[in-house]
């Protein structure tokens, strides 16, 4: 997986429907197989580590305009670039955004392999005030890769939700 150009942490939902109260990770990246025959991705999941706490976002949805639940995606040596959405399972009640440094890692379970492999990992910073804004479900935190800075540059975005 290539380094994502943008990462989003915040509530799931849409501008039209509004936030649904479920935490989400979004990123856009290229998946690429090293073999000519390609590989089949059975599932992807993201982990978010903050200090001593690690949370799996195991519900994977991908696509452009029409999103589909991830399962059985063939990735060739040419690659597949798409939007990836990672949601918490239904029992996410204990998860809360907090200020500090996060490590976001994406893992793939490949057909025929016994263990998942880590595709990429990035570090993201969030202040306590920003975490509070995200927890209120009124905005999300966007991280854009800054090639000159060599790091992700963050900004809060408050969607115009009725």
Q: Scanning the structure block, which residue is given the tokens 């290229």?
A: 30
Most confident of 45-49, 74-78, 154-158: 45-49
Local structure of residue 115 (DSSP, 8 states): S
Domain membership flag for residue 25: yes
- Please give the span between the terminal C-alpha atoms of the chain, in angstroms, as a whole number: 36
Position 117 pLDDT exceeds 60: yes
- Spatial contact of 19 and 11, defined as CB atoms under 8 Å apart: yes
The answer to whether the beta carbons of residues 44 and 104 sit under 8 Å apart is: no
State the CATH number of the domain containing residue 70.
2.60.40.1890
Q: Is residue 13 part of a domain?
A: yes
pLDDT at 91: 75
Tell me if 26 is assigned to some domain: yes
User: Looking at the 3D structure of the chain, how many domains does it have?
Assistant: 1
Q: Is 138 part of a structural domain of the chain? A: yes
Q: Is residue 38 part of a domain?
A: yes
134, burial (CB in 10 Å: exposed 0-12, middle 13-18, buried 19+)? buried
Domain span at residue 89 reads 6-157
**Does some domain include residue 21?**
yes
Q: Is the pLDDT of residue 161 over 50?
A: no
pTM of the model: 0.87
Residue 63 lies in a domain: yes
Q: Which ranges of the chain does DSSP label H, i.e. alpha helix?
A: 128-135
Is residue 1 one of the residues assigned to a domain?
no
């Amino acid at each position: 997986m290539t380094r994502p150009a943008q990462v989003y942490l915040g509530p799931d939902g849409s501008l039209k429907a509004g936030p649904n109260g479920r935490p989400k990770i979004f990123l856009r990246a290229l998946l690429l197989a090293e073999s000519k025959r390609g590989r089949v991705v059975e599932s992807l999941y993201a982990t978010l580590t903050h200090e001593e706490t690690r949370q799996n976002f195991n519900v994977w949805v991908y696509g452009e305009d029409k999103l589909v639940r991830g399962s059985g995606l063939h990735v060739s040596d040419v690659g597949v670039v798409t939007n990836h959405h990672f949601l918490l399972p239904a029992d996410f009640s204990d998860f809360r955004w907090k200020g500090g440094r996060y490590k976001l890692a994406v893992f793939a379970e490949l057909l025929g392999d016994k263990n998942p492999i880590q595709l990429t990992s990035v570090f993201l910073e969030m202040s306590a005030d920003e975490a509070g804004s995200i927890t209120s479900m009124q905005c999300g935190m966007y991280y854009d890769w800054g090639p000159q800075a060599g790091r992700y540059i963050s900004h809060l975005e408050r969607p115009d939700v009725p």
